[in-house]
Amino acid sequence: MKKLKQGVTPGPFIESVVLDRSRIYDPEHYAFQLPAMRGFSSLDLHPQVTFLVGENGSGKSTMLEAMAIANGLNAEGGSRNMLFATRESHSELHKALRLRRYHALVPDAWFLRAESLFNVATEIENLGVGDNYGARSLHEQSHGEAFMSLIESRFGQGLYFLDEPEAALSPQRQLEFLVLLHQLVGLDSQFVIATHSPIIMSYPRAKIYEFSERGIEPIAYEETEHYRITKSFLDAPSRMLRHLLEDSDE
């Protein structure tokens, strides 16, 4: 973790996210047509860790991205100092979000997307600040090593948005990530994480929101589809595979 600064404002930083419908300029924009978003008005964040979960296309990553942009972060990932763009593909949702803050000042913030880590690593090299991210270039490490190295060297005392970190991490690395997450929470950091991983979303100091056809609702860990399906499979893999493959042959 990066060297801690004395006298910085401690977390938590964001209390809630509110949708201001007066700032929706195109109601037909896809973000506002998502089933999970149609009745959305506000989301109370956990002071330490908030998980956004749901099926692909449910809107969890769209919400995470909008929250990050509303906090002054680059849509493709990085810190507030990274302004690169390889493709403008983010939604208009951030323009309609209002953030209720505990503090006006956030000492550190990052948006880390596993899928765009390569682009962030390239921008770090272009800015000539690679020494701040460990002894080895992120490009010289595996996806998982680079992801963990960035968090270990750069995060600390801040507000962090992570999009599907499990895409870069093996199950063992996900367990290591939980330890690192816990250490950073102990340093008054606040996280919002979109994930499919039942390992990652098991972190106990957290609130979980499920994005679905019903809207955005709080849900207990063991009630998530991710937990239930994974447990069902691991409890009886042969039976589930037989059922799945026999159905596909019909």
Tell me whether residue 33 is in a domain: yes
E strands, 90-201, where? 97-101, 109-113, 159-163, 190-194
- Residue 235: exposure state from Cβ atoms within 10 A (0-12, 13-18, ≥19): exposed
- Range of the structural domain that residue 69 is part of: 14-219
203 closest CA partner among 64, 46, 49? 49
pLDDT digits (tens, 9 = 90+) for 8-22: 677 799 999 999 988
Question: Count of domains in the chain?
Answer: 1
| 154: number of Cβ within 10 Å | 20
CA 130 to chain centre: 23
Tell me whether residue 247 is in a domain: no
Q: What is the pTM of this model?
A: 0.89
Residue 32 pLDDT greater than 70, yes or no? yes
Give the confidence band of 200 by pLDDT, cuts at 50, 70, 90: very high
Task: Give the pLDDT score at 67.
Answer: 95
Tell me whether residue 7 is in a domain: no
